[in-house]
Amino acid sequence: MLGVLLGAVIFGYLSDRAGRRLVLWATSTGVFLFGIAAAFTFDYYSFIVARFLLAICGSGYLVVVFVYVTEFVGMKSRTWASIHLHSFFAFGTMVVALTGYLVRTWWIYQIVLSTVTVPFVLCCWMLPETPFWLLSEGKYEEAQKVIDTMAKWNRTRSCKLSELLSLDHNGSAGNKPSQVEKHTLSDLFYDWSIGTRTLIVWLIWFTGCFGFYTFSLNSVNLGGNEYLNLFLMGKWLNYI
C-alpha cells in the first residue's frame, strides 16, 4: 500500500512535467518488468522489493490514465467517461480472480497477469499527447494538430484553440492563444471554499479506497469460496 501511495504522488507530478503519454508508457513498462521480476524472485525480501516497485508503477498508471482520458473528453461527457473508465478496474478485479482460479501456481499466475500490459507497451507510442498538456507547455501547433485529428475522427468541424478554450487572442485566426497560467498544489487551498472541497474529495477517495482494499485483501478470510468472493468484489455490473 505504501507503493500505491508513492506511485500516485510521484507519477502524478511527473505527468505534469514530462507529459501523460511518456508516463503512461513508463509505468506500463514498469508493471510488466517488475511483474515478471516478482515471478522469478527466490527469497522473501527480493519479492517484497519487486512487488513494491510494481505497486508504484501500477498506481502511477491508474492515476495518469484517468487524467489522460478525461482530458480528451468535453465537460458534458466527462462524468460519464470517468465513471466508465473505472469499470475497467472492476473488470480487471474479476479477471484476477478468474486467473487465480485457473492458474494455481503463483509464479505462473504472476507472469500471466504481467503479460496483459504487453500490447499497450508496444502500441503506446501511437497514442497522441493530450491537447491540454501540450497547451500548458506552449506547444500550440501540436495541440492544434491533435484537435484537428479528433475532429476528423468524429466527422465534425475542427476549431481553433482559442475557440475551444475561450482564450483571448489578437490578430488573425492562426495566431497563438495567450499564455496559459500554470497552477501548483497550493492552489487547491487558495481560499476556504476551494480548500474545503479539496479536503472533502481527499476524504471521499481515502474512504472509498480504504474500504475497497480492506474487503478485497481480506476476501480470502470471508465465508464461502475465496475466488468467488474476489470476483464479486469487482461488481462490474454496478457501472453499467
Q: Do residues 114 and 32 touch, judged by C-beta distance below 8 A?
A: yes
Tell me how far apart the alpha carbons of residues 220 and 46 are, in angstroms, rounded to a whole number.
24
Please give the pLDDT value at position 171.
Answer: 41
Provide, for the chain, the percentages of residues in helix, strand and coil under a 3-state DSSP scheme, each rounded to the nearest 5: 75, 0, 25
The sign of the torsion formed by the CA atoms of 68, 72, 77, 80 equals: negative
Q: What angle do CA 101, 103, 105 make, to 5 degrees?
A: 120
Q: How far apart are CA 135 and CA 141, in angstroms?
A: 9
| Pairwise CA distance, residues 202 & 182, whole Å | 22
**Per-residue model confidence as pLDDT tens digits over 174-227:** 445 555 566 677 788 888 888 899 999 989 988 988 887 887 778 778 778 888
Q: Give the domain CATH number at 121.
A: 1.20.1250.20
Residues 77 and 102 grouped into a single domain: yes
Q: Are residues 67 and 168 in the same domain?
A: no
Q: Are residues 126 and 163 in the same domain?
A: no
How far lies 63's CA from each of 3, 20, 78, 85, 89, in Å? 13, 10, 16, 11, 12
What does each C-alpha distance from 30 to 23, 34, 63 come to in angstroms? 10, 6, 15
Give the model's pLDDT for residue 168: 42
Rg (CA), the chain: 21
Backbone angles phi, psi at 74, to 5 degrees: -70, 165
One domain for residues 74 and 95: yes
Are 15 and 73 in the same domain? yes
**pLDDT at position 230, please?**
82
Cα separations (Å) of 188 from 128, 185, 194, 197?
A: 28, 6, 6, 9
Predicted confidence band of residue 237 (pLDDT cuts 50, 70, 90): low
For 50-195, strand residue ranges (E) read none
Residue 126 binned pLDDT confidence (cut-offs 50, 70, 90): confident
Within this chain, do residues 160 and 65 fall inside the same structural domain, yes or no? no
Average the pLDDT over each of 84-88, 117-121, 218-222 and give the range with the smallest value. Answer: 218-222
Same domain, 149 and 122: no
| Count of structural domains within the chain | 2
Q: Which residues form the domain of 200?
A: 2-131+182-239
pLDDT tens digits, 130-188:
888 888 888 888 888 888 888 888 787 777 777 666 544 444 444 455 555 666 777 88
Identify whether residues 202 and 149 lie together within a single domain: no
Distances (CA, A) of 153 to 59, 66, 69, 149, 199: 31, 21, 16, 6, 39
Q: Give yes or no: residues 107 and 217 share one domain.
A: yes
Please write the tens of the pLDDT for every residue from 1-37. Answer: 788 888 888 898 898 888 899 999 999 999 999 999 9
**Same domain, yes or no, for 10 and 48?**
yes
**What is the predicted pLDDT for the residue at 209?**
80
Q: Do residues 187 and 175 share a domain?
A: no
User: Cα-flanking dihedrals φ and ψ of residue 160, to 5°?
Assistant: -75, 155
Pair 51, 148 in one domain? no
pLDDT at 172: 43
DSSP 8-state assignment for residue 219: G
Of 18, 5, 24, nearest to 67 by C-alpha is: 24
